Amino acid sequence: MGLEPLFQAWSYFRRRKFRQCSDLCSQLLERPPSEQEQPESEYTAFQAAWSLKTRALTEMVYVDEIDMDQEGIAEMMLDENAIAQVARPGTSLKLPGTSQGAGPSPAVRPVTQSGRPITGFVRPSTQSGRPGTMEQAIKTPRTALTARPITSASGRYVRLGTASMLTNPDGPFINLSRLNLAKYAQKPKLAKALFEYIFHHENDVKNALDLAALATEHAQFKDWWWKVQIGKCYYRLGLYREAEKQFKSALKQQDMVDTILYLAKVYLRLDQPVTALNLFKQGLDRFPGEVTLICGIARIYEEMNNISSAAEYYKDVLKQDNTHVEAIACIGSNHFYSDQPEIALRFYRRLLQMGVYNCQLFNNLGLCCFYAQQYDMTLSSFERALFLAENEEETADVWYNLGHVAVGIGDLNLAYQCFKLTLVNNNNYAEAYNNLAVLEMRKGHIEQARALLQTASSLAPHMYEPHFNFAVLSEKVGDLQRSYTAAQKSEEAFPGHVDTQQLLKQLKQHFAML
Amino acid sequence: MPEGKAAFREVLPKQGQLSVEDAAAMVLCKPKVLPLKSVSLEKLEKLQRAALEAARPADGTPPPRP
């Protein structure tokens, strides 16, 4: 004697076996109607199975909407919410130079395309920095990793729209165009599951918004949940001010951490980090010690290049939750780049103890071990990292770092091979081109070095190293004009670089003498 | 290390012009600590991979002809 099938499906759902749950629900739904009991209450078993199946399908492809964020070129450049062309210092995320706290120098910590120091943790929204200008956005080479969709409507959201293809090989479960949304809006219990299905599984924001609007009307605008959902839809549609109104109204009705996070996301998209910071701090008064809020503050500070404040808040996060991976990783990378690899090593080891087991972590462990002079662990960590790499880009990263180890022990041949292997795995690795050029230059191969540097600087115009190296090289061979232009580019990328300034001064003297 | 006065003696020129050549050296790009991925990012990537797999025609079917 088996379990009651609906209960069995429910049990599958609770154990996160969504595939089985959905299959079982389908069987239940296919039963002839005569077998189903007559409706006694408002909801029938048939409806229960239907609702459970929508929930199971949603869970299969569910990604936390708070973390979901991708800005396309169009949204970024045709930004009609911007108030001023040039923001005041410390009030914008777009210009990394406007930070008040001194960020780390690019001579120590590598920077991303947007001129922001690389962070210890990536989220969907941090993945592809923000180029500051249209020119930069278009100039950025569209490599596999930096490719940015034209609009968010063409990006990940839509590609994920194929989710229905994944979960239901024989056509969609619910045919949205034939759905009578008004009917479902009358039944709040079904409507919520249906909304999440439309929003997350079908990625059909317009229909989801219609349903939410009808449902909130039915609830006489008294249900905060629907307001949050409407806000989410508006956010996806790019109507940020409307989204803000909905979230605020929801917050008035019911104080929720989630809503605060959504509202902050709106402010960040509107490029108002200070407002978002204030919101988080007010939220912390009402929800003291809430990890997601503290973490939100830390992220904003980090994006504004205020690394020291960010580190403070990440430490606060760890006081509340000492297994917070993001906080540990960020503090670890901060220590690594502030010349304390031993301490960074302890943080990364902690992550390892917590069960994080991937290529990135072993790569970081290897680097920390090497710079902390724990040579016995270095190579085995890198070996493990290479073994765990999931794709060629990751392999390239590991080989690149191994190249540094080789440079460190003076084995330039090995270093050369490592950087070559980096390029084999990822042909757009600008740093490896630059380092190869330096090695070629040591061998006296000026032409090769020049070609490599040109490749590097076209791939990554935001890095100062290739420009500076090109300037040095050109100066050496007597091509002062090119040297001067390259040095200027280098200064643009890293205004505080002393060697660049000296070179420029020298060149100016030369020109003055002519 | 041999003992005694004859072992090593540094040479410091006391007369004439001292010059230090300060040639700008080329710089290497820095080692990169790799950022860890957040759970949602990993899930997104997993979904994308699965979507690609699903979109790809099964092995054995001939490629479409132009």
- B33 contacts in A (CB within 8 Å)? 118, 120, 332-333, 336-337, 344, 363-364, 367
Instruction: Find the mean pLDDT for residues A103-125.
Output: 71
Instruction: Compare CB distances from B24 to A68, A441, A502 and report the shortest one's residue.
Output: A502
Q: Give residues with Cβ within 8 angstroms of B64, minimum separation 6.
A: none
Q: Could B50 and A166 be called an inter-chain contact, meaning their C-beta atoms sit closer than 8 Å? A: yes
B contact test, residue of A116, A314, A360, A501 with most B CBs within 10 A: A360
Q: In whole numbers, what is the pLDDT of chain A averaged over residues?
A: 84
- B26 contacts in A (CB within 8 Å)? 437-438, 441, 468-469, 472-473
Q: B12 — contact with chain A (CB < 8 Å)?
A: no
Q: Could A434 and B36 be called an inter-chain contact, meaning their C-beta atoms sit closer than 8 Å? A: no
Is the pLDDT assigned to residue A131 strictly greater than 60?
Answer: no
Is the pLDDT assigned to residue A378 strictly greater than 70?
Answer: yes
Q: Which residue, chain included where needed, has tokens 């990135």?
A: A360
Is the pLDDT assigned to residue A301 strictly greater than 60?
Answer: yes
Secondary structure, 3-state, A465-496: HHHHHHHHHHHHHCCHHHHHHHHHHHHHHCCC
According to the per-residue pLDDT averaged within each range, which of A38-42, A337-341, B14-18 is highest? A337-341
A35-44, A293-302, A449-458, B23-32: segment of lowest average pLDDT: A35-44
Q: Supply the pLDDT for residue A388.
A: 94
Distance from CA of B29 to the nearest CA of A (A): 6
What structural domains and CATH numbers belong to chain A? 65-134+153-161+203-339 (1.25.40.10)
- A499 contacts in B (CB within 8 Å)? 24, 27
Among A224, A164, A236, which Cα is nearest to A188's?
A224
Q: Supply the pLDDT for residue A154.
A: 45
The counts of H helices and E strands in chain A are 27, 1
Instruction: Compare CB distances from B29 to A360, A441, A463 and report the shortest one's residue.
Output: A463
Distance from CA of B64 to the nearest CA of A (A): 20
Q: Could B44 and A438 be called an inter-chain contact, meaning their C-beta atoms sit closer than 8 Å? A: no
Instruction: Find the mean pLDDT for residues B32-49.
Output: 83
Say if residues A121 and B38 touch (Cβ distance below 8 Å). yes
Distance from CA of B10 to the nearest CA of A (A): 26
Q: Supply the pLDDT for residue A331.
A: 93
Question: 10 Å Cβ neighbour count for A340?
Answer: 16
Residue A389: φ, ψ to 5°: -60, 135
Instruction: Find the mean pLDDT for residues A106-133.
Output: 65
Q: Supply the pLDDT for residue A143.
A: 46
Q: Which residue, chain included where needed, has tokens 């709040």?
A: A188
- B37 contacts in A (CB within 8 Å)? 121-122, 358, 360
Q: CA–CA separation, A251 vs A259, rounded Å?
A: 7
Q: Supply the pLDDT for residue A269.
A: 87
Tens digit of pLDDT for each residue in A137-180?
A: 555 544 444 444 454 444 454 445 445 555 565 667 777 777 88
Q: Could A333 and B30 be called an inter-chain contact, meaning their C-beta atoms sit closer than 8 Å? A: no
- A108 contacts in B (CB within 8 Å)? 30
Q: Supply the pLDDT for residue A148.
A: 47
A174-178, A246-250, A358-362: segment of lowest average pLDDT: A174-178
Q: Could A360 and B34 be called an inter-chain contact, meaning their C-beta atoms sit closer than 8 Å? A: yes
Distance from CA of B49 to the nearest CA of A (A): 10
Instruction: Compare CB distances from A122 to B29, B31, B35 and report the shortest one's residue.
Output: B35
Tens digit of pLDDT for each residue in A18-63?
A: 999 999 998 888 887 655 555 556 678 888 889 999 999 889 888 8
Q: Give residues with Cβ within 8 angstroms of A308, minimum separation 6.
A: A101
Instruction: Find the mean pLDDT for residues A265-289.
Output: 92
Q: Could B51 and A469 be called an inter-chain contact, meaning their C-beta atoms sit closer than 8 Å? A: no
DSSP 8-state secondary structure symbol assigned to residue A152: G
First-to-final CA distance of chain B:
79
Q: For residue A432, name the pLDDT band (cuts at 50, 70, 90).
A: very high
Is the pLDDT assigned to residue A136 strictly greater than 60?
Answer: no
Q: Could A326 and B38 be called an inter-chain contact, meaning their C-beta atoms sit closer than 8 Å? A: yes
Q: For residue A65, name the pLDDT band (cuts at 50, 70, 90).
A: confident
Residues 31-50 of B with CB under 8 A from A: 31-41, 43-44, 47-48, 50
Q: Supply the pLDDT for residue A144.
A: 44
Instruction: Find the mean pLDDT for residues A63-86.
Output: 68
Say if residues A464 and A496 touch (Cβ distance below 8 Å). no
Q: CA–CA separation, A63 vs A61, rounded Å?
A: 6
Give, in order, the Cα–Cα distances in Å from A358 to each of A333, A345, A363, A381: 16, 16, 9, 11
Give the number of residues written for chain B: 66
Q: Supply the pLDDT for residue A362.
A: 95
Distance from CA of A376 to the nearest CA of B (A): 19
Q: CA–CA separation, A97 vs A115, rounded Å?
A: 8
Distance from CA of A439 to the nearest CA of B (A): 9
Q: Which residue, chain included where needed, has tokens 């540990």?
A: A328
Percent of all residues in chain A with a pLDDT value above 70, rounded to a whole number: 82
Q: CA–CA separation, A403 vs A418, rounded Å?
A: 5
Q: Which residue of B has its CA nearest to A112?
A: B32
Q: CA–CA separation, A348 vs A385, rounded Å?
A: 14
Q: Supply the pLDDT for residue A125.
A: 66
Q: Radius of gyration of chain B from Cα atoms? A: 33
Q: Supply the pLDDT for residue A76.
A: 63
Instruction: Compare CB distances from A367 to B31, B37, B48 and report the shortest one's residue.
Output: B31
B contact test, residue of A62, A67, A429 with most B CBs within 10 A: A67
A163-167, A196-200, A333-337: segment of lowest average pLDDT: A163-167
Instruction: Find the mean pLDDT for residues A385-405.
Output: 93
